[in-house]
């Protein structure tokens, strides 16, 4: 489960295109940040994706990826030309294929490596989709098969691309747009695969083109409802709409931390076995099996593209840090795996995150104001750094990561000293005890 948002320059405060995504995966499915350089490849060479090899492009662009550690592709990322992409799992009446093939995250990385504009990246995905289809397990410890939708943006425009098998449909974004784990395109679109309508007519989902509605014809309603994709997509749309014309990157950071319109200061993720918010928290059972394991907000202009990354789970407990493609990422320790490792920044933060979960409202309140102040300082300083050299910006990014890591270490000690004032529900406590045991996190 995930949520992706985009706002065109016509509705933002400074004319930049704003993009944001939460990546929701299993609680121990560690998330990592990597930058891969621009490269040229020998004619006839191949690239190994998560499951299969395909022909390599002659040239691949530098990319910043935010990805599950075990997958070749990524859930979100950016390239050196300012293209950003986020993907969503979507569910259809047409079953997702299970044989090893290209999965949604592979398409995302391939599009970033090969597409110099949002439209070109879209065409990379649709061309590969029509050639290879999409198939393969996307789950970490539990098999999970699905189709994919995407928001693809650059400093000039943005697109929504929704796919089912080898069929696809695309809509150019006007103003603002969000997607979640449901199909959203209806009777109107800008681009589509050749057999899109004919397939629906042949299967009896509509009578003809006049009665065709992509989401209504192709959606599997059971999975779509269980994931509450419609309600989350409505919520993110409302959040963007309320700030139309004045949107800034900090707004989108806030939206990724959203726990719903009714969330009060004493909100806690513990009570329910059902339900899913934009900032997602795992619990007991198959419906709440995921949490937000990483978050990204990008501000895109032709001159500069700044990417705000948590590199850690649960944006409500995390700090967004700035990065640029040309200045790289700082050293963040070992690449994380599924078990706790103090050398990994993702797992160091996970100690804080899981300590906060033991008494969420009370413990988050111990450092939330400091987190917001530190992040606001990063945002103010980032404005001043935009015109500086790559080496100066690299040093600034490194300082932000170091300051965030040090602050989280201090907050962890503070949180652990605080008494737990609530008793977690049995099933919630059971779920997190199991997650901790699997991660060897005590």
Report whether 6 contacts 79 (CB < 8 A).
no
Please determine, for residue 122, whether its predicted confidence score (pLDDT) is greater than 90.
yes
Is residue 222 over pLDDT 80?
A: no
Domain locations along the chain: 2-325
Return the bridge partners of 148, or none. 89
What is the average pLDDT across 389-402? 97
Residue 1: band (very low, low, confident or very high) from pLDDT cuts 50, 70, 90: confident
pLDDT at position 334 over 80: no
Q: Are residues 275 and 230 in contact, defined by beta-carbon separation less than 8 angstroms?
A: no
Cα four-point dihedral sign 88, 93, 98, 100 = negative
Q: How high is the pLDDT of residue 358?
A: 94
Q: What is the mean pLDDT of the chain?
A: 95
Q: Are 288 and 367 in contact (CB under 8 A)?
A: no
Q: Which of 2, 138, 217, 279 is catalytic?
A: 2
How many other CB atoms sit within 10 Å of the CB of residue 288? 21
279 catalytic per annotation: no
Q: How many other CB atoms sit within 10 Å of the CB of residue 414?
A: 15
Q: What is the pLDDT of residues 17-60, one digit of tens each?
A: 999 999 999 999 999 999 999 999 999 999 999 999 999 999 99
Residue-wise pLDDT tens digits, 354-377: 999 999 999 999 999 999 999 999
Query: What does the pLDDT read at residue 282?
Result: 93
Confidence of residue 413 (pLDDT cuts 50, 70, 90): very high
Give the pLDDT confidence score for residue 349 in this predicted structure: 97
Which residues lie closer than 8 Å to 223 by C-beta, 6 or more apart? 91, 181
Q: What confidence score (pLDDT) does residue 10 get?
A: 97
Q: How confident is the model at residue 422 (pLDDT cuts 50, 70, 90)?
A: confident
pLDDT value for 286: 77
- Of 271 and 68, the structure prediction assigns the larger pLDDT to 68
The domain defined by 2-325 folds into Penicillin V Acylase; Chain A (3.60.60)
- 125 close to 132: Cβ distance less than 8 angstroms: no
Looking at residue 285, its pLDDT comes to: 78
- Which tens digits make up the pLDDT trace of 283-325? 987 778 899 999 999 999 999 999 999 999 999 999 999 999 9
Q: What is the pTM of this model?
A: 0.97
pLDDT, position 424: 87
């Amino acid at each position: 489960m995930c949520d992706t948002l985009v706002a065109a320059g016509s509705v933002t405060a400074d004319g930049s295109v704003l993009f944001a995504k939460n990546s929701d995966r299993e609680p121990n499915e560690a998330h990592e940040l990597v930058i891969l350089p621009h490269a040229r490849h020998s004619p006839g060479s191949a690239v190994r994706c998560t499951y299969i090899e395909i022909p390599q492009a002659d040239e691949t662009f530098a990319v910043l990826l935010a990805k599950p550690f075990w997958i070749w592709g990524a859930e979100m990322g950016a390239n050196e030309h300012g293209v950003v992409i986020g993907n969503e799992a979507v569910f259809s009446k047409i079953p997702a294929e299970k044989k090893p093939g290209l999965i949604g995250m592979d398409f995302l990385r391939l599009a970033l490596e090969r597409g110099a504009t949002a439209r070109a990246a879209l065409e990379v995905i649709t061309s590969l989709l029509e050639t290879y289809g999409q198939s393969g397990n996307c789950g970490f410890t539990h098999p999970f098969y699905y189709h994919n939708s995407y928001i693809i943006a650059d400093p000039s425009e943005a697109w929504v691309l929704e796919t089912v098998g080898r069929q696809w449909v695309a809509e150019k974004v006007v103003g603002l747009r969000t997607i979640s784990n449901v199909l959203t395109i209806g009777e109107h679109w800008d681009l589509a695969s050749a057999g899109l309508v004919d397939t629906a007519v042949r299967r009896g989902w509509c009578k003809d083109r006049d009665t065709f509605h992509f989401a209504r014809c192709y959606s599997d309603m059971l999975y779509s409802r269980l994931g509450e994709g419609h309600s989350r997509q409505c919520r993110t749309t409302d959040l963007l709409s309320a700030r139309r014309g004045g949107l800034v990157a900090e707004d989108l950071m806030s939206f990724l931390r959203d726990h719903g319109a009714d969330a009060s200061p004493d909100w806690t993720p513990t009570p329910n076995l059902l339900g899913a918010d934009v900032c997602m928290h795992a619990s007991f059972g198959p419906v709440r099996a995921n949490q937000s394991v990483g978050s990204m907000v990008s501000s895109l202009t032709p001159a500069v593209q700044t990417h705000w990354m948590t590199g850690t789970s649960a944006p409500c407990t995390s700090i967004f840090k700035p990065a640029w493609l040309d200045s790289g990422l700082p050293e963040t320790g070992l690449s994380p795996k599924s078990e706790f490792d103090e050398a990994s920044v993702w797992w160091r933060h996970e100690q804080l995150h899981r300590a906060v979960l033991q008494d969420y409202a009370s413990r988050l309140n111990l450092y939330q104001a400091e987190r917001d102040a530190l992040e606001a300082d990063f945002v103010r300083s980032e404005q001043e750094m935009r015109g500086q050299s790559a080496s100066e910006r690299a040093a600034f990014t490194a300082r932000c990561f170091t300051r965030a890591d040090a602050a989280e270490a201090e907050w962890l000690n503070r949180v652990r000293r605080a008494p737990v004032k609530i008793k977690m529900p049995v099933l919630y406590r059971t779920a997190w005890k199991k997650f901790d045991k699997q991660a060897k996190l005590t």
